Amino acid sequence: MTMFINQMLGCLIIAAGIGGTVGWLLRNVSAGKLTQQLADVTAMMHLKEQMLEKARHQLRDATSKLQAIESPATPLEEVDLQLAERDRRICELEQLDQQLRKQSEDNETLPTDKAA
């Protein structure tokens, strides 16, 4: 019976040794694969991030060019156009004022000519 127990303990020690060795080898092999996959994914993410930044920069350039095409007048030019329009309108109003004053003077002089 002692021999049987010794054989069982010997087999258990051998099985534990084999299990430990296989587990250690599998852990190192799978950890190496995971490390490599992680490095690959990280490199791919950096590449995609660079591509995204490049695309974002191109989009900003295209947007600014499109806005420049759609709105050819800069804010300063718009102000100049508004001022020119205002000056033109002021000139028109001054001419109208002069015409009205002249008509008013003509109307005032007509009754005095009739009275004389």
Q: Which residue ranges make up each domain of the chain?
A: 1-72, 73-116
* Average pLDDT value for residue range 22-48: 84
> What span, in angstroms and rounded, lies between the C-alpha atoms of 64 and 58?
10
Q: Does the pLDDT of residue 16 top 60, yes or no?
A: yes
Tell whether the torsion through CA atoms of 27, 29, 32 and 36 is positive or negative: negative
SS3 percent helix, strand, coil of the chain, rounded to 5, is 95, 0, 5
Q: Name the pLDDT band for 1 (thresholds 50, 70, 90).
A: confident
Poorest-confidence range of 7-16, 87-96, 105-114?
Answer: 105-114
Residue 24 confidence class, pLDDT cut points 50, 70, 90: confident
pLDDT class of 115 with cuts at 50, 70, 90 = low
Report the predicted TM-score, pTM, of the whole model to 2 decimal places.
Answer: 0.39
Q: Is residue 101 within 8 Å of 93, Cβ to Cβ?
A: no
Question: Who's near 81: CB < 8 A, 6+ residues apart?
Answer: 73
